[in-house]
A and B are shown apart, each in its own frame.
Chain A
Amino acid sequence: MNQQTEALISIQNVDKRFGTFQAIHDVSIDIQRGEFFSLLGASGCGKTTLLRMLAGFESVSAGRIMIDGQSMADVPPHHRPVNMVFQSYAIFPHLTVRDNIAYGLRKQRLPRLRRYEMVEEMLDLIKLPGYGTRRANELSGGQRQRVALARALIMRPKALLLDEPLGALDKQLREQMQLELRALQKSVGVTFVLVTHDQEEALTLSDKIAVMAAGRVLQIDTPAGLYENPANREVAGFIGNMNFFIGKVIKTGPVMADLQVEGLGHVQVETSVIRQPQNARVLLAMRPEKLTLSLDPPEGALNSVSGTLHTTAYLGGLRQFYVMIDGRADPVAVSTQNQRRAMPQDIEQGRKIWLSWHNDAFVVLENT
């Protein structure tokens, strides 16, 4: 058995029941060595439960969990080769930072000097040199989070489990910590498994993301894969903004297929992405930034349609336009980058607007 190609963590057909409530349904996930893997989903989707099952704080109702080829059945948390960073950080208040970080080293019976050395190395790693003698209540939230990281990493775990570690921080600090976390993982090379409800966070940090809802995995893919090729409507709607269109297959040619789409009229997509037969209904999804907005009819062979401007939203780096088109009840969301500092004259509501897009702008989802 070649250990290098086998997944580090293998969750196989796992169920979890709390009494009569089923929290996890038949979940299977493989996490590779050195990967930054995220479990993404709304509150109550089961992602934290899954993480706690990896750590050993929840038992498995059905299926099994393998870590580095060993089954984790009946193995309690203190014997597992993984370590966890808790949502509340759980920094021990009665110990100093140094004693917190060195906490798990007791069983190794290292000489005290060696322990302190290792702690100092860790403190440098998390950019808090010299903080060893401070107490937990003297630290800020961000500092405590880093101590929690150090405390777990010093154990040389095979995987580091993080339960919404950045949730308690304000936006600025969170974004800064995200970048630091990513850099840390890359430099240290340990497998990270992160749980979050913040899709931006997941997209920023991860090599692979598992999107979960109601105890099931909807899709496992890279961030780009999830964003550009969502497998179904749920994933498409969960990640970022999305416009949905209902269409009908008119004709499937050898290269391109013709669709009749509400509001947009006649649309062409590549035949390879159509799995539905002729006359079948399809659901098309298009990201707001894949549409181009113009005041005049666009030139060239781009697909286009006209509509009227409904509302705009200014988001600093982006502008979001909502455009009403005939044949469709909801407005179409279009986003453009604000590349120039001087604002163009505002487009008044009700103005006639042209939208255009490329052939590959659509994603075709299952026909629901």
Chain B
Amino acid sequence: MPLSKIQTSEMLDTPNHGRRNLIINGAMRFAQRATTAAVDATGYKTVDRFLMNIHSDFNSKSTMTKNLDSLTPPDYFNDYVGLKIDTATTASGDVYFNFRQQIEAKNISHLKFGTSSAKTLTVSFWVRSTLTGNFSFTLRNGPSDRSFVTTYNISAANTWEKKTITIAGDTTGNWTIDNGVGLTVNFGHGSSQGTYSTSTLNQWQSGSKTGATGSVKMVETVNSKWYITGLQVEVGDTDTDFEHLSYGEEQTLCQRYFWRQFINGANVIYDRVYWNGAGQNSIHDFPAPAGMRINAATVTCSPTTNGTSVTFTYHQHGTISIYRATANGDNYIYAQDLSINAEL
């Protein structure tokens, strides 16, 4: 076989080599916390790695649901996530209602942002809404003082549309490469006025901006909905097919940031000792994922029982230590819902 048949010029294009998507869980497959939740405040609600970042004016006014309304997803996808406005709220002043993924800085260091060698990125996604018009999209750096704001247009209501946005890398600004936030990929739905909005589009600028002036504010329309899947951010000026990872790979990537063990009605941790005398201490280690983003992760354990002198500590080498100052007699701990939060 001629060499040209094996190694074509197309195959030499950078986008065709290796792992491409900087987004984790872009196909919205994993939702360890819940599949539906009220957006009661800023926080991670349903699909892994996607943060709802909202002003308190919008607390408990919307719902976030994996596979909202059981729609047929776009071709080659099985899942999506949807936002629904349950109570309309006027967006006035310096407010915001954002759906975003914060990419860890260690995962974008190769982009060389903040230098003259900054690489171009292409963002692609499938989106659908009950509303039409120009919606806000932003890339922002970790320290939140550099923003690139643009819009994408949804031309037909209730129809999946694929959008592609190409953005030249930022050649200035402070772009960190630690385990904090490196690049925020933001979809704005309520900040088209006030401090967080801008009419300066399609170029990098100073400040934290998450909305294009005059863009759609779905927070103001009761029962409005917005759905997304297939989010991909890749190096280069060309959008390639969505990179579908194996289930296990994607799960592992998600679990660097959040891990949960929950089997309805079953103990995921059970530990019991009987002491003849008070004042004894015990430490037992249970397995947990190694290499989560931070060693100082929060451990949430429910229910726990027997006494107040119990603590849970995560260790990046892959354990949870349970310390207990025991009381005289029977001492036991159990948990049916155990999670470790190392999110950004």
- Are both chains from one complex? no
